[in-house]
Amino acid sequence: MPESTVTNAAAIDEQELDLAWLRQKYLEERQKRINARGNSQYIEVKGDFSRFIDDPYVDGPLVRDAVAETVEAIVIGGGFGGLLAAAELHKAGIKDIRIIEKAGDFGGTWYWNRYPGAQCDIESYIYMPLLEETGYIPTEKYAHAAELFAHARRIGEHFDFYPRTHFQTQITELRWDEAESHWVARTDHDDTIKARWVLSASGPLNRPKLPGIPGVDRFKGHTFHTSRWDYDYTGGHSRGGLTKLADKRIAIIGTGATAIQCAPYVAREARHLYVVQRTPSTVDIRGNRPTDFEWAKTLPSGWQRARMDNFNQLVSGIYADVDLVQDGWTFLFGEMTLAHLAEDRAKLSAEELARLTELADFRKGNQIRARLDKVVKDPATADGLKPWYGMMCKRPTFNDDYLEAFNRPNVTLVDTKGRGLDAITETGIVFDGVEYPVDCIIFATGFETGTSYTRRAAMEVYGRNGETLSQHFAGGLRTLHGFFTDNFPNFFMLGLSQNGFKPNVTDMLAEQSEHVVGLIAAARATGATRIEPQPEAVDAWVGTIREKSEVARKFLATCTPGYFTGEGEIDKGVFVDTYGDGSVAFTALLREWREAGERSGLKVW
Ligand code: NDP
């Protein structure tokens, strides 16, 4: 776009937007939500609360004999991350593996999250991994939970992973054996499994959390967390039919991505639904549609990788001639990152770029709020549902039924205006002196973040000389490229870490698996048995991550609290430690590092 057009567009925006008012409003709404307790406002799910994490999909605890075995590699986690890591090992000829999975089947997120309406919200053609390898085409642009779960099982069968997996099993500790140059894993079934390599893909959002609302343990009605949906209580399945709710008053606590998806289904069946909101989500258009299988037939070999790359380029703010996915994400990120200005960016000062970004943000926020006024009939409810914060402060959501649900006479928004509920009694929920009697409370309150790696992975890792990973990370995460750390040879962490974040997480996990397994394969080819980063390289990478996170930190400090901001403790925010120049630059950095040959900073011996 020529510079004059850029400037004109910005000038028009400024006239249309009341910038001073918007800035003040965002600030005021943020103030209401600051909670001095930060992450400690949440209850760790254990002890009396552990029923919230019991597995409702198996016939009780698994009873089996302990095993003692030696394999080449252990993969921790059987979600898409673990499956991708195992698939890469398989392709590299490393077939003597053991996948350890705490659930009763593969699927990870999609094993646990079977709540009604659960759906991937990154397009399924790029989100569902290994489509070409498994010969599968999803049935919808955004596939629903059962199809996602079935695809995880399909991958498990395709690569024959079932006989090589211990389900309903958790590693409790990993210990490095220096003399033998291998890891010794112990599990909650008293297994002892030795392996040269360990790839950990335990997932960043795997431990449900509960809000520490006074009285949360006093409620005498029914309760569950969305990631353990109780269909015995509600009736139905993940596509609806919750007929047992016909005489029930339900409260859903939370209005994040999960609540947005399940609330419309509960609204349809319950006698009454109270949606308890602390901070509204941004809810944009979804536009799901069935797959055109004629189109699918025309897809050339390599289409999935090309589509993933195109999506990632656009959501990284890099201009592309074509937008293959064309959905809320590519439109949103395109606008927010000013992707259309990519070629002109160099001509703009930092101040001008910041100004244009702020305008784009306010403009998008106004669109979201205008949609609400159009869809929600009661003006007070529409007002209550309006989000007032930067679009990237919280996870954006996309849904075509959630806002409509508030037009039903049996649905009430309990807008706690940033404060959260005041109390839970034996029979209901309380806000501002009003008690709402309910039969069931559904916690759509999300998952632990900002706690230690080992707590979320529910295991301790003992490196060389018995140092624990908890001790090693006590002062913050320290890795080389997010994958490994000094003193813990052959231990690879996959997932959200000090690496390049991609909104399409399965694409990110595929790339990470390929990289890490490539390193293992190269080491094996030379007869090496150890891979470990040098401490100086780790220190340097931590410095790079820190330096490149300054822009994100500054932005997050302006945001309403949530797990992006570590509930106000920016250092605990989920994306703060990721590579600040973005995933495209990170991918290029890894490629150059590999191609340079010497793999600087890594000891392989
Ligand atoms: P979130 O952490 O996003 O949302 C938790 C919700 O609970 C928030 O609305 C939060 O309010 C609210 N809450 C917390 N404490 C209280 C309280 N004391 N009183 C009232 N409300 C409270 O969890 P989700 O399960 O919705 O989503 C987690 C993540 O999982 C998503 O961000 C997304 O990454 C992923 N996800 C992906 C999906 C997909 O791809 N299809 C679908 C669903 C989830 P507040 O905002 O004020 O903190």
Q: Is the separation of the CB atoms in 138 and 304 below 8 Å?
A: no
Task: Identify the weakest region by mean pLDDT among 43-47, 376-380, 484-488.
Answer: 43-47
User: Residue of the nearest CA to atom 41 in ligand 1?
Assistant: 120
Whether the pLDDT of residue 2 is over 70: the answer is no
* Pair of tokens at residue 177: 């054996």
- For the Cβ of 504 lying below 6 angstroms from any atom of ligand 1, the answer is no
Q: Which of 52, 102, 99, 92 lies closest to 71, judged by CA? A: 99
Q: For the whole model, what pTM was predicted?
A: 0.95
CB proximity list for 196: less than 8 A, separation 6 or greater = 72, 73, 181, 182, 183, 490, 529
pLDDT score at 431: 98
For domain 1-41+209-287+327-446, give the CATH number. 3.50.50.60
- For the Cβ of 152 lying below 6 angstroms from any atom of ligand 1, the answer is no
- For the Cβ of 211 lying below 6 angstroms from any atom of ligand 1, the answer is yes
Between CA 317 and CA 335 the distance in angstroms is 8
- For the Cβ of 255 lying below 6 angstroms from any atom of ligand 1, the answer is yes
Average pLDDT, the chain: 94
DSSP state letter for 206? -
Q: Which atom of ligand 1 is nearest to the CA of 42?
A: 15
**121-132: average pLDDT:** 98
Pocket test for ligand 1, best of 122, 445, 501, 508 (most atoms within 8 A of CB): 445
Between CA 305 and CA 311 the distance in angstroms is 10
Backbone angles phi, psi at 7, to 5 degrees: -65, -40
Q: Is the separation of the CB atoms in 342 and 321 below 8 Å?
A: no
Kindly indicate the confidence band of residue 338, based on its pLDDT and cuts at 50, 70 and 90: confident
Q: Which atom of ligand 1 is nearest to the CA of 33?
A: 47
Whether the pLDDT of residue 213 is over 90: the answer is yes
CB proximity list for 312: less than 8 A, separation 6 or greater = 502, 503, 504, 507, 583, 584
**351-361: average pLDDT:** 90
pLDDT score at 16: 74
- For the Cβ of 445 lying below 6 angstroms from any atom of ligand 1, the answer is yes
Whether the pLDDT of residue 501 is over 50: the answer is yes
Q: Which atom of ligand 1 is nearest to the CA of 120?
A: 41
Pocket test for ligand 1, best of 37, 255, 424 (most atoms within 8 A of CB): 255
pLDDT score at 3: 40
Task: Give me the residue spans of the domains in the chain.
Answer: 1-41+209-287+327-446, 68-207+450-604
Distance of CA 564 to the CA centre of its chain: 11
Task: Out of 3.40.30.10, 3.50.50.60, 3.90.79.10, 3.40.50.1370, select the CATH number for domain 68-207+450-604.
Answer: 3.50.50.60
- For the Cβ of 552 lying below 6 angstroms from any atom of ligand 1, the answer is no
Pocket test for ligand 1, best of 278, 288, 443, 451 (most atoms within 8 A of CB): 278
pLDDT score at 341: 76
pLDDT score at 201: 96
Q: Which of 127, 321, 114 lies closest to 230, judged by CA? A: 114
pLDDT score at 12: 54
The two domains 1-41+209-287+327-446 and 68-207+450-604 share their CATH topology (first three levels equal): yes
- For the Cβ of 114 lying below 6 angstroms from any atom of ligand 1, the answer is no
pLDDT score at 13: 65
Give the percent of the chain with pLDDT over 70. Answer: 97
